Chain A
Amino acid sequence: MRNAFAKVVTELADMHPELVLLAGDIGNRLFDRLKEKHPDRFLNCGVAEANMTGVAAGLAVSGLRPITYTITPFNTVRCLEQIRLDICYPDLPVIVVGTGSGLSYANLGATHHSMEDIAILRTLPNMHVVCPADPTEARLAVTDAVRLARPTYIRLGKKGEPNVHTSDPDFRIGRGIIMRDGSTVAILSVGNMLEPALQSADQLQDEGVSTKVVSLHTVKPLDDALLTSLFTKFELVVVLEEHGLIGGAGSAVLEWGNIQGVDLRKLIRIGGPDRFLSACGDQQEARELLGLSSAQISRRILDRLNGRHASGT
């Protein structure tokens, strides 16, 4: 996703003379083409994220279209008050991009994990929270965020993830993308969990459970129409995220369902625990530790379906 981001930012900078990229002393060589073509619109702001965020807001209030970029926890919770007051309060068109989200940097330790960012950023008025699933969605998310021109947080993974999409989907911030149709279980996959979500759907299909998969890339605002239809038609609605359960996308759906009055007994939230992760290995190993591998996800869904069937008979 990182390389897709660098490429699309360079292309968008060619098209939009207002676009400015601010980086927090990362991305060595990643933005060489942008620096070469538009030297006045790339700024290495150093390891000073509070200032970088304030500078971005000052650029935006002056008619420019800044994007801030650094490792997720440093570009979100470290400079949270600047995001809240400088960007969100005046509703300025700044795009905040975090790289290495969730457990992408699992083996770097808890300092580099971001299992709280969705929860925290979605509480901010005016903020949009977008979690692309793969490099294709990352490219489309940045492009659509430039169109949107509102405070937008884009939660990227790392580099080298495979493309799940084989062609460009119809991507619109606030609208989920249907990846596969089904009739019994609906898995709403948030961000980089799309690949295991699709694998789980395969496994469920093998067990005779028809499973729909949606890339729910936008956590705020939620796709009302899609959620309403899923809670009406499906036996189970699963929200899957590489993020803590407290306040994450699953919580957002829970809050939404409470307001809408849908049957929330259908909801399963799958995500991370309320603790810092230590010695958790690489991303895949960390997922297994938390029950986020495809086999663990499909097992959990099957158990729930079986338990429900048993109690219903």
Chain B
Amino acid sequence: MDLSSSNLNSVALAARLRAKAIEMSHAAGAAHLASSLSCMDMVAVLYHSVLKIDPANAKWEGRDRFILSKGHAATALYAALAYRGFLTEADLGTYGKAGSLLEEHPSPRLPGVEAATGSLGHGLPFGCGIALAARIKGQSYRTFVLMSDGECNEGSVWEASLFAAANRLGNLCAFVDFNKWQATGRSKEVLALDPLADKFRSFGWNVCEIDGHDHLQIAQAVQTVAMGEARPTMVVAHTVKGKGVSFMEDDNNWHYRIPTLEEIRLAKVELGVP
């Protein structure tokens, strides 16, 4: 499976990224597969056609920044970084192995990784700092942060939400991968997260509610970021945990389960990936 092929559309890319994440989960015996599948369409659209980044110059000052705040979905990020040439397919094969920087949660030492994530609630404050730096330095890059709904249990998410709105960080865009599950239960039950979009609206954000698997809606949601919109943008993306593989969809056992070889075969058939 070639991830670095440049002529894929974003939907085909998302299917390949999903297949890759499934293979990586199996090879490393690493959990959180359903979390990666849930956010994969947003990751695919961002890395396919939104982010201005340069793998030959990973630290280019003018690059758009992407922070995977739900760091447990690291395979989604790693597969996307391989698609854009920050990593190689061989690098992906080292995921979770001793000596590899492709750890189960992203290391800041890995090219293309902007922040150390894995402990939830860190990405949005960090992203606020990066977005604020653009204003102080007079730069036009945009900052994107992808969070999970369970992550919105963390108080630091709400501290940062106050801060971003108060400081009019219109160059900041956050996503909530709202798959309605967290590790041990429904997010609306654990800490009564609903109505989530209203919460961010009341905090002063420009809120879009979208189908987080619809690539057109994802692309449209980020169009106004840093384009005259003074408010930070929050994309509340309704998603299905385990999306793309029928026997994983909305089954929270796949928060921790590792796919077998046979399950990989079946999943790839469903995804239409050879």
Contact = CB atoms under 8 A, between A and B. Distances in A.
A86 B167 CA distance: 21
A27 interface: no
Interface string A52-75: 111111111111101000000000
A62 B125 contact: no
B145 to A, nearest CB: 10
Interface stretch (B130-138, B185-193, B204-212, B237-245): B130-138
A64 B137 contact: yes
Interface stretch (B38-46, B157-165, B260-268): B157-165
A12 to B, nearest CB: 16
Interface stretch (B19-27, B73-81, B93-101, B112-120): B112-120
B23 to A, nearest CB: 28
A57 B115 CA distance: 9
Nearest to B67: A58
**B108, B133, B166: most-surrounded residue (chain A CB, <10 A):** B133
A43 B167 CA distance: 9
A3 to B, nearest CB: 26
Is the contact region of chain B dominated by helix, strand, or loop, or is it mixed? helix
B150 interface: no
A51 B128 contact: yes
Interface residues of B, number: 30
Contacts of A53: 125
Majority DSSP secondary structure for residues of A touching B: helix
Name the residue among A50, A55, A64, A89 with the largest chain B CB count within 10 angstroms: A55
Nearest to A41: B136
B180 interface: no
A81 interface: yes
A150 to B, nearest CB: 15
A89 B129 contact: no
A24 to B, nearest CB: 11
A156 interface: no
B232 interface: no
Contact of B136 (A40, A48, A61, A85): A40
B228 interface: no
B132 A58 contact: yes
Interface string A63-98: 110100000000000000110011001100000000
Contact of A50 (B108, B132, B155): B155
B147 to A, nearest CB: 13
Task: Choose among A40, A51, A60, A61 the residue with the greatest number of B CB atoms under 10 Å from its CB.
Answer: A51
Given A50-B159, A55-B129, A62-B130, 7 more contacts: A40-B136, A45-B163, A59-B129, A61-B114, A61-B115, A61-B126, A90-B115
Interface of A: 20, 40-41, 43, 45-46, 48, 50-64, 66, 81-82, 85-86, 89-90
